[in-house]
């Protein structure tokens, strides 16, 4: 039971229940200024969970690739990874708990053969102060499912994680009530923090129990949400069924949604009864490294950690580069650089020879050949990017060693500032600074280093948001109107200037749209006036925005506009703005919010300014007045 097998079984199982498979979104979110990376399966589908119609219908299933940069330093144990896949199935206002919980239980126990005696579940304990009842419906469903396989499952009340550590699990208990911090989902967090109009709801998590003794460092007693490693969360069904009212109370949504997310790699761990996420999910990579080094995974702690870091970091780097993110000192590229350079350090621990880390790319791509064809088509570019970054790092390492010696000559502990300088300027992983310092009898201020690194990451993230890397400053009403107008403007520019015009960047706020496009000379005002008229005619035509999913090659052949085709998956979402008479004003690849019809755009579109942006690129500033 490897990742490919379980992914295929999951997709097939839910397609048999009437779900439409949708492709994974990119690891870099489109038109989402709030985050650098796609870190959950729900993230790309949030507009549809909040009411926008999805072109695939109301039952969807997918496997979404995800990256969480915050876990980089944690990788090396048996649980943490940076790259993972999130299995998801979704009901957009159709089915609910009665269908979702039995489906997932059957998938785990019947499709992939997990022993139900190893499964424990949690549900929402309710909030009396807000008038939200505890989720007894989910408890009743779970009890029926367990009883169907001969297990009498009683429910116990825990509340908080601290309560769980003090209380533990009583005999016969398999279902547990936890508070809103653990078993409630909304964008704002717990119910009390939600603004009026915001949807949210209880969730139900499923945990797998390994044959591991409880570590009392995590509390007196073990419970499903304990972090000792005995229990592992493998799936969470969110039931978005409530909406907060102006007076702070909650009412039921007329069309509730189901949002399920299950960690593919974690489910693989459960199916194989092993608590080591790397051993079961990175086996081909480990096998290659064993062959290349003559070392054995699991032989000793230091080398085992090196295997894990290389396997995880290189997998994440391969997928990020495959999505067009190359090593650099800023934004998303900074994290790709950190991944590769940390992997280089651990490759030296194991003695990886030959072409270095670039040779690890091939077994990674081979692992995912069936599910992610883009990696195959971009294999040469990925290998070259890894090879170039490793060479750059080895050059900076020699300079960094000289700088470290200057710090070490003082004979005092390495300060957090010095450790951070070695990391940020010379590419020294913290572990290397610690190891070199230890050899000289020195310590490193790791707590201060962690604080400086967090500050750096926050500034990097803020800087990315300030530049509106994905194009949109927010997803408010006016910004959404201007985003749609920008699509129409590009269609108008291509109509009057030719098909050589393509988007080269955008920055859209609630005040204005700033749009860069490829063109070799200043655009005459009379052409800009024609483009203005084109956009306003589209608005006045009461055109409708429609979406459809099609093969990328088909979309290209039909003349759909797209700026970065190589970054998109094999199936793409096409947004078309079409009048009632059938005039197609624009059709373009996109992943952001749009108005549903022209009458939702208020005002007249005006182009205020056109100027040079860079060589071969022009810039327009426009507003809705």
Domain 477-624 sits in CATH 3.30.980.10 = yes
Q: Give whole-number Cα distances, 333 to 40, 243, 464, in Å.
A: 20, 39, 11
Nearest alpha carbon to residue 182 among 165, 161, 167, 166: 161
Q: Which CATH superfamily is domain 3-277 in?
A: Bira Bifunctional Protein; Domain 2 (3.30.930.10)
**Radius of gyration from C-alpha coordinates of the chain:** 26
Backbone angles phi, psi at 573, to 5 degrees: -100, 125
CA atoms within a 13 Å half-sphere pointing along the CA-CB vector of 322: 26
Domain layout of the chain by residue ranges: 3-277, 282-466, 477-624
Nearest alpha carbon to residue 435 among 411, 414, 412, 456: 414
Residues 6 or more apart whose CB falls under 8 angstroms from that of 35 comprise 29, 43, 461
The enclosing H or E element of 545 equals strand 544-551
Q: Is 550 exposed, middle or buried (0-12, 13-18, 19+ CB in 10 A)?
A: middle
**Residue 267 DSSP symbol:** H
Residue with tokens 């960094």: 400
The chain-wide mean pLDDT, for the chain, equals 90
Confidence (pLDDT) at 462: 65
Confidence (pLDDT) at 431: 79
Provide the Cα torsion 513, 518, 521, 523; round to 10°: -40
Q: Which pTM does this prediction carry?
A: 0.78
In angstroms, rounded to a whole number, what is the distance separating the alpha carbons of residues 426 and 559? 46
Nearest alpha carbon to residue 405 among 383, 388, 387, 426: 426
Q: Is 46 exposed, middle or buried (0-12, 13-18, 19+ CB in 10 A)?
A: middle
Q: Report pLDDT digits (tens) over 78-105.
A: 889 999 999 999 999 999 999 999 999 9
Q: Report pLDDT digits (tens) over 457-478.
A: 676 556 544 444 446 666 678 8
Answer for the pair 484, 595: CB distance below 8 angstroms, yes or no: yes
Confidence (pLDDT) at 468: 40
Scanning 30-96, the segments in alpha helix (DSSP H) are 46-49
Residues with pLDDT less than 70, the chain: 31-34, 354, 457, 459-475, 563-569, 591
Confidence (pLDDT) at 591: 67
> Residues 32, 38, 39, 44: is their CA dihedral positive or negative?
positive
Residues 6 or more apart whose CB falls under 8 angstroms from that of 70 comprise none
In angstroms, rounded to a whole number, what is the distance separating the alpha carbons of residues 323 and 566? 8
In angstroms, rounded to a whole number, what is the distance separating the alpha carbons of residues 31 and 471? 5
Residue with tokens 């039921």: 252
In angstroms, rounded to a whole number, what is the distance separating the alpha carbons of residues 424 and 460? 12
210 three-state secondary structure: coil
Confidence (pLDDT) at 43: 87
Answer for the pair 46, 9: CB distance below 8 angstroms, yes or no: no
Q: Report pLDDT digits (tens) over 198-235.
A: 899 999 999 999 999 999 999 999 999 999 999 999 99
Confidence (pLDDT) at 173: 97
């Amino acid at each position: 039971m490897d990742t490919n097998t379980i992914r295929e079984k999951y997709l097939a199982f839910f397609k048999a229940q009437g779900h439409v498979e949708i492709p994974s979104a990119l690891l870099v979110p489109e038109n989402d200024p709030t985050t650098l990376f796609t870190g959950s399966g729900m993230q790309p589908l949030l507009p549809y969970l909040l009411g926008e119609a999805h072109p695939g219908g109301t039952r969807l299933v997918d496997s979404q690739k995800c990256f969480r940069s915050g876990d980089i330093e944690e990788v090396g144990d048996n649980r943490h990874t940076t790259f993972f896949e999130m299995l998801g199935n979704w009901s957009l206002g159709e089915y609910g708990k009665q269908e979702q919980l039995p489906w997932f239980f059957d998938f785990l126990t019947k499709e992939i053969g997990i022993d139900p005696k190893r499964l424990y579940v949690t549900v929402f304990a309710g909030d009396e102060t807000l008038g939200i009842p505890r989720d007894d419906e989910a408890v009743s469903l779970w009890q029926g499912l367990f009883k169907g396989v001969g297990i009498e499952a009683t429910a116990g009340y825990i509340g908080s994680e601290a309560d769980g550590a003090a209380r533990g699990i009583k005999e016969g208990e398999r279902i547990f009530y936890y508070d809103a911090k653990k078993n409630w989902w909304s964008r704002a967090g717990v119910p009390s923090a939600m603004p009026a109009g915001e949807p949210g709801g209880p969730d139900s998590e499923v945990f797998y129990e390994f044959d591991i003794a409880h570590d009392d460092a995590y509390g007196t007693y073990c419970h499903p949400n304990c972090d000792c490693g005995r229990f592992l969360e493998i799936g969470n069904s969110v039931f978005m069924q409530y909406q907060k009212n102006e007076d702070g109370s909650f009412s039921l949504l007329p069309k509730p949604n189901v949002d399920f997310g299950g960690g593919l790699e974690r489910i693989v761990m459960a199916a194989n009864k092993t608590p080591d996420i790397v051993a079961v999910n990175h086996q081909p990579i480990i096998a290659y490294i064993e062959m290349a080094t003559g070392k054995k995974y699991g032989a000793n702690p230091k080398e085992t950690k090196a295997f894990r870091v290389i396997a995880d970091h290189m997998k994440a780097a391969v997928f990020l580069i495959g999505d067009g993110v190359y090593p650099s000192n800023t934004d998303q590229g900074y994290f790709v650089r950190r991944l590769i350079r940390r992997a280089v350090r651990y490759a030296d621990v194991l003695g990886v020879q030959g072409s270095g880390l670039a040779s690890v790319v091939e077994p990674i791509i081979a692992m995912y050949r069936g599910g992610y064809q883009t990696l195959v088509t971009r294999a040469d570019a990925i290998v070259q990017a890894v090879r170039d970054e490793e060479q750059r790092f080895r050059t900076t390492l020699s300079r960094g060693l000289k700088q470290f010696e200057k710090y070490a000559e003082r004979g005092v502990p390495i300060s957090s500032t010095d450790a951070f300088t070695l990391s940020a300027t010379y590419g020294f992983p913290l572990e290397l600074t610690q190891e070199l310092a230890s050899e000289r009898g020195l310590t490193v201020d790791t707590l201060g280093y962690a604080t400086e690194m967090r500050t750096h990451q926050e500034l990097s993230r803020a800087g990315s948001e300030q530049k509106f890397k994905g194009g949109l400053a927010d997803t408010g009403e006016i910004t959404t109107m201007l985003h749609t107008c920008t699509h129409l403007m590009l269609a108008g520019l291509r109509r009057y200037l030719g098909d050589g015009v393509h988007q080269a960047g955008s920055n859209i706020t609630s005040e204005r749209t700033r749009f860069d496009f490829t063109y070799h000379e200043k655009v005459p005002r009379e052409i800009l006036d024609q483009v203005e008229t084109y956009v306003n005619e589209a608005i006045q035509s009461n055109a409708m925005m429609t979406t459809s999913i099609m093969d990328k090659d088909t979309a290209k052949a039909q003349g759909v506009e797209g700026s970065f085709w190589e970054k998109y998956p094999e199936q793409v979402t096409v947004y078309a703005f079409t009048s009632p008479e059938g005039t197609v004003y624009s059709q373009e690849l996109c992943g952001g919010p749009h108005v549903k019809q022209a009458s939702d755009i208020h005002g007249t579109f005006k182009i205020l300014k056109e100027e040079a942006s860079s060589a071969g690129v022009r810039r327009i500033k426009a507003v809705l007045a």
